[in-house]
Structure formats: structure tokens, C-alpha cells
């Protein structure tokens, strides 16, 4: 399988993936964001805004395939998109 590695910390999160990523539970690195920021994330739009402003808070690794996404922790979770 061919993959494209996207360096979102250098290029920002791809705008076409933001809403998909925001819909994933656990997509924000809560320990890095802190309780105050996490408390403000009520809607997917809140998460989109946060990830645009602070892309380093995106949980990683993330696999996006054909309009679906999964966080790669544990690594076995990526298999669900590859089957």
C-alpha cells in the first residue's frame, strides 16, 4: 500500500480533513491542551477552530483513507481502515 506522509506541523492540518478529524473521539491531545481548553470543546466546530490555531494538539498518528479516519493508537486500530 502506498501512503502519503503529511507533515501537518510544518504545513498545518489539511483543511479538507479538519471536520473529519474533529469528529473523532480523542483527537485532541488532552494532556497537552489542559483541562481549561478541553472544557471549551463542546462541538466539532470548537475542535476545528482549536486544531487550526494549535495543530500540535492533534493526536497522532492519524490515518485518513477514503473519507474515513482513525487514530493509530493502538497501532492495530489502523487495520480497520485497511481491510
Instruction: Tell me: cis bond preceding 61? Omega within 30 of 0 counts.
Output: yes
Distance CA 24, CA 41 (A): 13
CA 65, distance to chain mean position in Å, is: 13
Model confidence at 19: pLDDT above 90: yes
Alpha-carbon distances, residue 38 vs 18, 33, 41, 49, 65 (angstroms): 17, 7, 5, 13, 27
Residue 76 has pLDDT above 80, yes or no: yes
What pLDDT does 3 receive? 84
- What's the pLDDT tens digit per position in 45-68? 999 999 999 999 999 999 999 899
Average pLDDT, the chain: 94
**Mean pLDDT, residues 27-48:** 98
CB 50 within 8 A of CB 28: yes
Amino acid at each position: 500500500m502506498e501512503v502519503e506522509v503529511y507533515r501537518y506541523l510544518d504545513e498545518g492540518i489539511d483543511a479538507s480533513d479538519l471536520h473529519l478529524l474533529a469528529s473523532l473521539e480523542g483527537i485532541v491531545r488532552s494532556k497537552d491542551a489542559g483541562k481549561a481548553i478541553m472544557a471549551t470543546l463542546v462541538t466539532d466546530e470548537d475542535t476545528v477552530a482549536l486544531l487550526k490555531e494549535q495543530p500540535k494538539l492533534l493526536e497522532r498518528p492519524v490515518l485518513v483513507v477514503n473519507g474515513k479516519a482513525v487514530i493509530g493508537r493502538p497501532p492495530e486500530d489502523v487495520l480497520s481502515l485497511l481491510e
